[in-house]
Structure 1
Amino acid sequence: MQEIEPYYNWRNLYIASEDPRSPFAGYQNSEVYFTDQIYNFLIHPQWDNIGSETLFLKVLYADYNQGFAVIEMFGEWNDLLHNDIMTLKRNIIELMIAEGINKYILICENVLNFHTDLDSDDYYAEWQEELEEGWIAVINARDHVLSEMSKYGVDHYLVMGGKLNDIAWRTRHPKQLCSKIDELVMRRLSI
């Protein structure tokens, strides 16, 4: 697990720790020391800790003029044991919403498992309601993660699956990625 690291080829465009409007402004990752772990497995030191025992992330890009953010997720998204959606919503998303971000691209190819509680959709609903004209898109999630999210109704709040699950995002500029996803989301919403 320590070899899975966040995408770094957009660092010339955006670094969350250097963005004064980011929830991670001033955050320092170790270049050499492994400080975080998921269960008994050390993880790469470039992942940002959001206060969850099992879910980490990296804000790869944020554009306040266009109101979108690209966030790469890593670990186990566990609402059942750790209420990760509450932690994510309170510690990261609310700060980003306050800065005008209303479109979220969640890259979930490194979300290894998803567990939820039948009664934990309040934070998903709250997040979606606060976005007004925005959306939350999950891209490139593993099939079993998508299945669990759908099984418990999380797909009522997050747009996922279909063409969103096969996007070559690394070959695009973040603004091109947002435009493509916005097009797919709007097409779905108009059906």
Structure 2
Amino acid sequence: MHDIEPFFGWEFNYDSNTDERSPFYEAEYDTNQYTNTIYGYYIHPYWDFIGSETLYVKVLMADYHRKFVIMELIGEWNDALHNDIMHLKRNVIDYFTGEGIIHFILIGENILNYHGSDDEYYEEWFEDVENGWIVLLNFREFVLREMNAYNLDSYLIWGGILDEIDNWRTTNPHKLFEFVRKEVEKRIALF
């Protein structure tokens, strides 16, 4: 786990620790000492702590003009024991919705498991982005099945091509947003 770094290829576009509007503004990272762990396994120090002992994030892109954020996640998303959605919502998402962000892209390749609870924070988040959306990209199939069992598909968008965007690292973040936006609009138009 300590070898899994958050994606850093877009740092020339955006760096969350230099963004005064980010919850991670002025965060410092000590690459000589690994201190954060998930279930006793050290993780790379570039992952940002959100208050949860099982879920960490990295904000890869925030565009306040186009109102979107792209985040990568690592760990076990555990709402049952650690209320990870509360930590994510209160300590990260609320900062960005307060700055007008209404489109969220969460990249979940490194989410190893999901344990659900109630949907209160998901519903609140969904209401906060009334004219926007929350998209999950590249989450593992069994994780999505578990999320579906808790009816989170009422609040979050996933599936189809959104689970197969393997080239997101080689795509410009704005092009990725536009691709996802068009896919979401197609789905919304069907309803």
Q: TM-score range by the shorter chain?
A: over 0.9
**Identity across aligned pairs (percent)?**
48
Q: Does 1:126 align with 2:124?
A: yes
User: How far did residue 88 of structure 1 move?
Assistant: 0.5
Which residue number in structure 1 is paired with residue 177 of structure 2? 178
Whole-Å separation in 2 of the counterparts to 1:146 and 1:171: 24
Q: Which residue type is aligned with residue 189 of structure 1?
A: I
Alignment of 1:25-174 (within 5 A): 25-117=25-117, 120-167=118-165, 168-174=167-173
Instruction: Verify the 8 A CA contact 1:60 1:70 in the aligned structure 2.
Output: yes
Q: Kindly report structure 1 stretches of 4+ aligned residues shifted beyond 6 Å.
A: none
CA deviations over 1:21-66 (Å, ceiling 9, x no partner): 1111011111221010001101111100000010000000000000
Rounded to whole Å, the distance in 2 between the matches of 1:49 and 1:94 is 15
- Measured after TM superposition, the shift of residue 143 of structure 1 is 0.8
Unaligned segments of structure 1, at least 5 residues: none
Gapped regions of structure 2 (runs ≥ 5): none
Query: How far apart, in 2, do the equivalents of 1:121 and 1:100 lie?
Result: 23
* Alignment deviations for residues 102-123 of structure 1 (CA, whole Å, 9 cap, x no partner): 1000000100000011xx2010
Tell me, yes or no, if the aligned pair for 1:29 and 1:48 is still in contact at 8 Å: no
Q: CA RMSD in A?
A: 0.7
**Normalising by the residue count of structure 2, what TM-score does the alignment of the two structures yield?**
0.97
What is the CA–CA distance in structure 2 between the aligned matches of 1:184 and 1:149, rounded to whole Å? 21
Q: Give the SS at the match of 2:182.
A: helix
What is the Cα deviation at residue 68 of structure 1? 0.2
Q: Read off the aligned partner of 2:116 and give its amino acid letter.
A: T
Q: What TM-score results when the alignment is normalised by the length of structure 1?
A: 0.97
Counterpart of 1:17?
A: 17
